[in-house]
Structure 1
C-alpha cells in the first residue's frame, strides 16, 4: 500500500491542505448549528399541498345541482302538504267524520302530523338552499353537511314515496349527491386555500 495513491483514505491530505485541528470539520454547504433551513421556495407551507383548483370541478358542480334538485323537491312536498292541510276540514266533513269526540280527536292528531311534515319539509328545503349558496365559497364543512343532508334526504324520500313518485326521485338524487360530494375533486375544491 502506497501513501502516494490519491484514492487512499489513510494517506496524507493531497494538495498541501492541512487539517484544522481543534475545530469541527464540516463539509461546505451543510447547515450548521442554530436555526433550521427554510423549506424550498417551490413548496408552499402547510404540508406540501398545492394551491388547489381555481374553478369548481364538474363533479362538484353536479353535486351542487343535485342539492338544488333535492331542495326544490322538498319545496314541492311542502306545497302538497300545505294544500292537503287547506282541504283537510272539507274532506273530513264530506267523509262524514264529525260529531264523535273520539273521531274528532284522531282528526286533530292527523292534522298535527300533516303540520309537522309540512314544517319539516319547509325547513329541509331552506337548509338545502343555504347549502347550495355556500358551494362557491364554503369550507369542507359544506361538503360534509351536503353528505349528511343527502343521507337524511334518503329517509325523507321514503316518507314521500306516496306523493307522485317524488320520493323515488329524492332518494336517487340523494344517493348521487352523496357520491359526488364524497369524490376527491370535491374534497380538493372545499379544502383549497382562500386568499
Structure 2
C-alpha cells in the first residue's frame, strides 16, 4: 500500500486547507485579530500604550479672553448695583427726614422729600438692572464651556448692545473734553468688541457647534 493512496486507512491523513473567514466577515491582516461583523473597531483608551489619545477639545484663546472680560464686567455691574442701592437708601433716609417735619402745606421740606422719594425709586430700578446684567454676564461666561448656539447668539447680541452703550459714553466723554471721562467708555468698547467677535470668528463658531457626548 502507498501512503499517498487516499483510500489507505493507515496512511497519512490529507492536510486540510486553512480556514477562511465566513461570508460577510472581512479578512484581517496577519497578526491582527478579526473584528466581529457589524462591530467597528473600538479606539484605544487614553493612557494605554498604542491607544488613541482621546484628549478633550480646548476653548479657543479669543473665547477665553471674552470669558474673562464677561466676569470682569459682572464684577463692575455688581459694584454699581450695590452703589445704587446705597444711594437709594440715602435718598429714602432724606425723604423720611423731610416727612418728619410734618405734611402741612407750609412745610418747606415737602417738595424736597417728594424728590427724594422719586430719586430713591429710580436708583432702586437702576440697581436691579445692573444686578440683573451682572447675573447675565456670569451666566454667559459659565456657559461658554458647554453652551450651544443659544449662548453664542446671546453673547453676540449682548456684546453688541454693550458696545453701543460704550460708544455713547465715549462720545459724551469726548464732548466733555475730560480725559478721565473717555478712559472708562473706551475700555468698555474694547471689551464689547472682543465679546462680540469671539463667538463669530471661525474658531468660536466651531467651538459652539462642536459635538457633545
1:81-119 Cα offsets, whole Å, 9 max, x none, are 12222333556769xxx8443333222222111111000
Matched, 1:70 2:73: yes
The separation in 2 between residues aligned to 1:64 and 1:133, in whole angstroms, is 8
Deviations 1:127-178 (A, max 9, x none): 111111111111021111111121233355557x999865553333122211
Q: How does 1:103-122 map to 2 (within 5 A)?
A: 103-122=112-131
RMSD of aligned residue pairs (Cα, Å): 3.3
Give the number of aligned pairs: 141
Checking the alignment, whether the CA contact within 8 Å between 1:135 and 1:142 is kept in structure 2 is yes
Q: Which runs of 5+ in 2 are unaligned?
A: 1-55, 99-106, 174-179
The residue matched to 2:198 in structure 1 has which SS?
helix
8 Å CA contact retained: 1:67, 1:132: yes
Alpha-carbon distance in 2 for matches of 1:74, 1:180: 21
Q: 2:192 aligns with which of 152, 161, 174?
A: 174
What secondary structure is seen at the aligned counterpart in 1 of 2:117?
Answer: helix
Task: State the alpha-carbon separation in 1 of the partners of residues 163 and 116 from structure 2.
Answer: 29
Distance 2:199 2:86 in 1: 34
Aligned with 2:133 (options 124, 148, 166): 124
Matched-pair contact (CA < 8 Å) for 1:74–1:122: yes
Matched, 1:102 2:105: no
Tell me what 1:187 maps to.
205
In structure 2, do the counterparts of structure 1 residues 171 and 117 end up closer, same or farther at CA, with 3 Å as the change threshold?
A: farther
Checking the alignment, whether the CA contact within 8 Å between 1:70 and 1:174 is kept in structure 2 is no
